[in-house]
Amino acid sequence: VLLSLKESYEEALQRTDVKAIVVTGKGGKFSGGFDISSFGDLHSGKIEQPKVGYISIDILTELLEGATKPSVAAIDGLCLGGGLEVSMACHARISTPTAQLGLPELQLGIIPGFGGTQRLPRLVGLTKSLEMILLSKPIKGEEAHQVGLVDSIVSPNDLVNTARRWALDICELRKPWIKSLYKTDKLEPLGEAREILKFARAQARKQAANLEHPLVCIDVIEEGIISGPQA
């Protein structure tokens, strides 16, 4: 899916009759995220392991977010894990009120790997993003709008058309062209951020004393705040 998304993007960027891009899912779902069974294929060598950063940096950051044409995610149904990470690389997100948005990776013993550890805090702030990631707790479209994860709520029937108009409005500078990886207005000041992270670590240890990956995830979020998201 990610490789075909890359091909579709490259085609859309080359075509002179395309001004802007809408990313959406079929049949009332955006994307449930990574296909867990493919981990088995990666481990057995059936699928080649992509080089580090190929998806998170080359595809999502440089191609999608860094594109010369704006993109808007039109979200309905499930928008989880890698699905949410794709939507956060778009320049705006339009959602239905009942869509479910979240990063449930920690439940699977892994951490979000396609930039979610960096983009979610920059869109909703550190406290809310840690809650969503550490509890693997999706939120509905309505709440996602209140916390700043999505830009507008519309009915399923109006979803794609609203996203199209929004994307063209970005193109014509009537709406802001926002790269969420470089947003800083929602991030708490460094001192406060450190306190929030310290508290999150204590909570994670209390909830699951023997699990290492939630603490690694907090380290990764902190690294991005201190050294910048590319790191």
8 Å CB contact between 12 and 21: yes
Under 8 Å between Cβ of 68 and 13: yes
What is the reported pLDDT for 153? 98
**Does position 50 have pLDDT exceeding 90, yes or no?**
no
Which of residues 10 and 51 earns the better pLDDT score? 10
The model's confidence at residue 163, banded by pLDDT at 50, 70 and 90, is very high
Residue 1 confidence (pLDDT)? 87
Grade residue 38 by pLDDT with cuts at 50, 70 and 90.
confident
Domain boundaries, the chain: 1-227
pLDDT at residue 68 is higher than 90: yes
pLDDT category of residue 36 using cuts at 50, 70 and 90: confident
With respect to CATH, is domain 1-227 assigned 3.40.1190.20? Answer: no
Q: What is the dihedral of CA 82, 103, 21, 52, to 10 degrees?
A: -40
- Contact residues for 135 (Cβ-Cβ < 8 A; gap 6+): none
Q: Report angle CA 119, 124, 127 to the nearest 5 degrees.
A: 105
Percent of the chain at pLDDT above 90? 83
Rounded CA gap, 61 and 85, in Å? 10
The per-residue pLDDT for 77 is 96
Q: Closest by alpha carbon to 46, among 37, 55, 54?
A: 37
Q: What percent of the chain has pLDDT over 70?
A: 100
Q: What local confidence, expressed as pLDDT, does residue 92 receive?
A: 98
Q: Tokens at residue 160, please? A: 């794609």
Per-residue pLDDT at 40: 74
Q: How confident is the model at residue 42 (pLDDT cuts 50, 70, 90)?
A: confident
What does the pLDDT read at residue 126?
Answer: 96
Hey, what are 214's tokens?
């939630």
What is the set of active-site residues?
85, 105
Residue 35 pLDDT grade (very low, low, confident, very high; cuts 50, 70, 90) = confident
Mean model confidence pLDDT for the chain: 93
pLDDT in tens, 79-117: 999 999 999 999 999 999 999 999 999 998 899 999 999
Tell me which residue of 171, 178, 149 sits closest to 69, measured CA to CA: 171
In order, the DSSP letters of the chain are: -HHHHHHHHHHHHH-TT---EEEE-STT--B--S-THHHHHHHHTSSPPPPTTIIIIIIIIIIIIT-SS-EEEEE-SEEETHHHHHHHHSSEEEE-TT-EEE--GGGGT----SSHHHHHHHHH-HHHHHHHHHTT--EEHHHHHHHTS-SEE--GGGHHHHHHHHHHHHHTTSS----GGG--TTSPPHHHHHHHHHHHHHHHHHH-TT--HHHHHHHHHHHHHHH-TT-
Strand partners, 73: 23, 93
